[in-house]
Structure 1
């Protein structure tokens, strides 16, 4: 039941169900706004955390779903994607693009779909975890579900 979930997380829940993803949103007692915090709270490897990072690229938001085990090489990724540049979005740009705050950005539940890149390094994990719309919420899914959910392009991001 979603009645106990924050509004942002209910939107994420509804987006998951709309595409047939059945993982439940988990409300954590403490904020898990970083991959190490989320991994520790869930008892999983940090690499199994799918960080939702919003960048600004060629005049539009770009969502990069990256493994918590490493950082995005924005210059290399821009070159791979044929983009002029990729820069970290401001907190205001993140909120405008996703309707969510940094530290809790989900891969879905946004006002409109975002161009999304999914880190190929998430593929080996049988289960990955992503933010559920707030820093206190997360949900499990598979790599294939993440790609389908986001209509993402799989790429090397580091």
Structure 2
């Protein structure tokens, strides 16, 4: 899947900024430790279901996602997606879901708080690979809707 992400980045005019980390980047905390950045700079990709629609939320690693806010942004109710469904639909295993290169059409929502952070780091198709990017590049590559998605404490 890393090569799929690499090709999707190329197709979008994004540089090949994929890096590998032997210690892994499965969680936002793992990724931030490996990369030596803040957890907030990890652009985590979380997949939800809206019926059979794949809804991808790209959020700051520092945030929990409020499904109600996501549903309001896209106009459809969303629920958690189980790992087998995520892999079947997107081609990615949980822990390595990238913002680009999916095997299906996805509806993408981007956490507006990512706009204030630079650089960002996103999964690149495996739990050991990430790529460096910016919020503007993510928006352009995914055609994502930017909005408030973080859960209020």
TM-score in terms of structure 1 length: 0.91
**1:53 counterpart residue number:** 46
Which residue in the other structure is 1:110 paired with? 102
Q: Distance in 2 between matches of 1:11 and 1:133?
A: 8
Unaligned segments of structure 1, at least 5 residues: 1-7
- 1:105-144 Cα shifts (integer Å, max 9, x gaps): 0011111331100110100112100000000000000110
Moved segments of 4+, more than 2 Å = 79-82
Structure 2, unpaired ranges of 5+: none
Query: Take 1:10 and 1:95, find their aligned partners in 2: how far apart are those partners?
Result: 16
From 3, 7, 20, give the equivalent of 1:10: 3
The answer (yes or no) to whether the contact 1:23–1:141 under 8 Å persists in 2 is no
1:41-120 correspondence runs (5 A): 41-83=34-76, 85-120=77-112
Report if aligned partners of 1:48, 1:122 keep a CA contact under 8 Å in 2.
yes
| CA distance, structure 2, for counterparts of residue 143 and residue 150 of structure 1 | 11
- Partner SS, residue 54 of structure 1: strand
Mapped contact 1:104–1:134 kept (Cα < 8 A): yes
Q: How many residues align?
A: 150
Alignment match of 2:144 (pick from 134, 152, 156)? 152
2:54–2:105 contact (8 Å) kept in structure 1? no
